[in-house]
């Protein structure tokens, strides 16, 4: 099975319509041995200073959920800070910095590693301490298993039942230990397929992936984009652009399922005027147009562009 994550990054437009947000995703802080999931201390400090100096409104995840569920307005320049996996460096490094800036944040916790007492993770007691200090927690499943993982399943129903059971068990353990934010999920590894995304929606969850992009309240709540913040993607030149991004007005992506079965899938993206932002904003000037292109999937991760890859072709 080949997994393809569509990257529909937000364009750094100047307008600031009030129904958009940028969600940041972190894992580890100042744990320089793990560069693919870590943000270095000086990078993180520079990012937080940038958010404050440039008037970004860092809002709690619950506020963003209320925008989706109840139409609550978002402030301009809204940013949401999320941290996956509950590593100890949240407790030892990140919390004090975030608290000093008064920035709320949410930790997506996979509960099994915590229950197993793995020392890389915070204990429940430490998380309760953070919760008392205003930190919120949310569901990341129990076993930290990819929801699109191939396995030895007798049927698709059995596969989905296992995903459901893991999400339910994660929520149950989290609720026994903390007062988590209901109705929001982060896919482990950012991986999902159309069936599991549909299941999460049916279970009442709004779900986050790990694909880059800004979001709006018109974004598909089965897989909301977040900008991963790591050593190689966390430099200030990139950060400045990412937090200033606005979402592309995507009406439809086909196929929606990020799991593809061919090496050269055809992707169709329809852009249109989905924006309900402030009148006259540049984000409203998109005409409805359809773009078609092929993406060469490289399951061996060589990272080398292949000559057979077709350039993007526009089909209006």
188: Cα separation from own chain's centroid: 10
Measure the CA angle with vertex 267, ends 262 and 268; round to 5°: 155
User: Which lies closer to Zn ion via its Cβ, residue 144 or residue 263?
Assistant: 144
Q: How far is the CB of 180 from Zn ion (least distance, A)?
A: 15
Q: How far is the CB of 193 from Zn ion (least distance, A)?
A: 17
Residue 258 contacts by C-beta under 8 Å, 6 or more apart in sequence?
3, 4, 5, 6, 148, 191, 192, 193, 223
76: phi then psi, degrees, rounded to nearest 5: -65, 155
Q: How far is the CB of 32 from Zn ion (least distance, A)?
A: 19
User: Which lies closer to Zn ion via its Cβ, residue 18 or residue 200?
Assistant: 200
Closest residue to bound Zn ion by CB:
84
Radius of gyration in angstroms for the set of CA atoms belonging to the chain, rounded to a whole number: 19
Q: How far is the CB of 27 from Zn ion (least distance, A)?
A: 7
Q: How far is the CB of 305 from Zn ion (least distance, A)?
A: 29
Longest dimension (CA), the chain: 57
Q: How far is the CB of 185 from Zn ion (least distance, A)?
A: 11
Which of 232, 202, 236, 210 lies closest to 54, judged by CA?
236
Tokens matching residue 179: 């007062």
Give the interface with Zn ion as residue ranges (CB under 5 A): 84-85, 188
Residue with tokens 């404050």, as numbered in its chain: 52
Tokens matching residue 172: 């149950």
Q: 286 to each of 45, 147, 283, 292, how far by Cα in Å?
A: 36, 34, 7, 17
User: Which lies closer to Zn ion via its Cβ, residue 84 or residue 177?
Assistant: 84
User: Which lies closer to Zn ion via its Cβ, residue 79 or residue 83?
Assistant: 83
Q: How far is the CB of 241 from Zn ion (least distance, A)?
A: 25
User: Which lies closer to Zn ion via its Cβ, residue 90 or residue 244?
Assistant: 90
Give the burial string for 145-161 (b: 16+ CB within 10 Å, else e). Answer: bbbbbeeeeeeeeebbe
């Amino acid at each position: 099975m080949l997994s393809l994550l569509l990257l529909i990054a937000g364009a750094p437009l100047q307008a600031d319509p009030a129904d958009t947000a940028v969600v940041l995703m972190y894992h580890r802080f100042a744990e320089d041995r793990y560069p693919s999931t870590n943000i270095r201390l000086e990078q993180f400090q520079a990012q937080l200073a940038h958010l404050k100096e440039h008037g970004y409104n860092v809002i709690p995840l619950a506020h963003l959920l209320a925008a989706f569920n109840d139409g609550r307005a978002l402030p301009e320049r809204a940013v949401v800070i999320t941290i996956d996996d509950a590593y100890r460096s949240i407790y030892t490094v990140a919390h004090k910095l975030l608290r000093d800036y008064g920035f709320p944040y949410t930790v997506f916790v996979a509960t099994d590693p915590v229950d197993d007492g793995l020392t890389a993770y915070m204990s429940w007691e430490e998380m309760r301490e953070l919760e008392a200090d205003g930190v919120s927690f949310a569901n990341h499943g129990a076993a930290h298993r990819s929801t699109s993982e191939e396995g030895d399943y007798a049927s698709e129903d059995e596969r989905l039942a296992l995903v459901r059971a893991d999400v339910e068990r994660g929520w149950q353990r989290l609720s026994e230990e903390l007062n988590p934010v209901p109705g929001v999920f982060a896919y482990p590894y950012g991986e999902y397929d159309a069936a599991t995304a549909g299941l999460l929606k049916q279970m009442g969850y709004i779900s986050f992936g790990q694909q880059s992009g800004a979001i709006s309240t018109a974004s598909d709540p089965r897989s909301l984009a977040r900008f991963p913040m790591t050593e190689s993607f966390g430099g200030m030149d990139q950060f400045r652009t990412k937090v200033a991004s606005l979402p592309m007005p995507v009406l439809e992506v086909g196929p929606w399922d990020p799991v593809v079965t061919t090496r050269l899938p055809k992707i169709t993206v329809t852009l249109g005027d989905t924006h309900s932002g402030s009148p006259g904003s540049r984000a409203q000037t998109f005409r409805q147009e359809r773009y078609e292109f092929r993406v060469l999937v490289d399951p061996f991760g060589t990272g080398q562009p292949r000559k057979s890859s077709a350039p993007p072709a526009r089909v209006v």
